[in-house]
Amino acid sequence: MRDEKFKERGHHRGGRYKGYDGSLQHGPKTFRRGRAIAFLEMMYLKRSTIKHQLEKPEFHSIRPILIGELKAIDMVINQFIQLFDIHEGEVTEAVYHKNEETETSRSDQNEEGMENDETNE
C-alpha cells in the first residue's frame, strides 16, 4: 500500500527530482522566461515609440531610417517569439496596460498644454 502511494506521487526512480511532483515550477527556467518576456515587452515599447515618431512632422526628415528600424524591430520580435515559444496571452496583457498608461499620460500632457495655451492668451 505504501509503495503504491509512493509510486503515484512520482517518487519512484527519481521522478520527484525531474519535475514530476505536480507543483508549479519556480526555478531558473521560469526566471529566464520571465526575463525573456520582460525583454519582449521592452521591444514592444520601443516599437510603439518609433511608430509615434513616424506620425510626428518633426521626424519627417529621418522617416526612412525610422521605417527601417521599425522593420528590424518587428523582425527581432518575431524571431524572439518563435525562439522562446512565447504565446500571445503572455505578453499582450502587460503591453496593453503599458500602452494604456502611456496613452493616458500623453493625453493628460496634451490637456495640460492646451490649458496653458488658454491661460497664456
Does the residue 71 lie in any domain?
Answer: yes
pLDDT value for 70: 97
CA-to-CA dists, residue 106 to 101, 102, 110, 113, 119, angstroms? 9, 6, 6, 10, 20
**Is 35 a domain residue?**
yes
The C-alpha atoms of residue 100 and residue 10 are separated, in whole angstroms, by 45
**Structural domain span for residue 57:** 27-120
**Is residue 85, in this structure, part of any structural domain at all?**
yes
Closest among 96, 46, 102, 35 to 72, alpha carbons compared: 46
Instruction: Note if the pTM is more than 0.95.
Output: no
Phi-psi region of 15 (alpha: psi -120 to 50; beta: other; left: phi over 0): alpha
The domain total for the chain is: 1
Q: Domain for residue 13, yes or no? A: no
Kindly state whether residue 111 falls inside one of the protein's structural domains.
yes
- The answer as to whether 32 is a domain residue is yes
Question: How high is the mean pLDDT in each 10-residue block of the chain (121 residues)?
Answer: 56 50 62 89 96 96 97 96 86 58 54 50 43
Place of cell 502611456: 102
- Whether 5 is in a domain gets the answer no
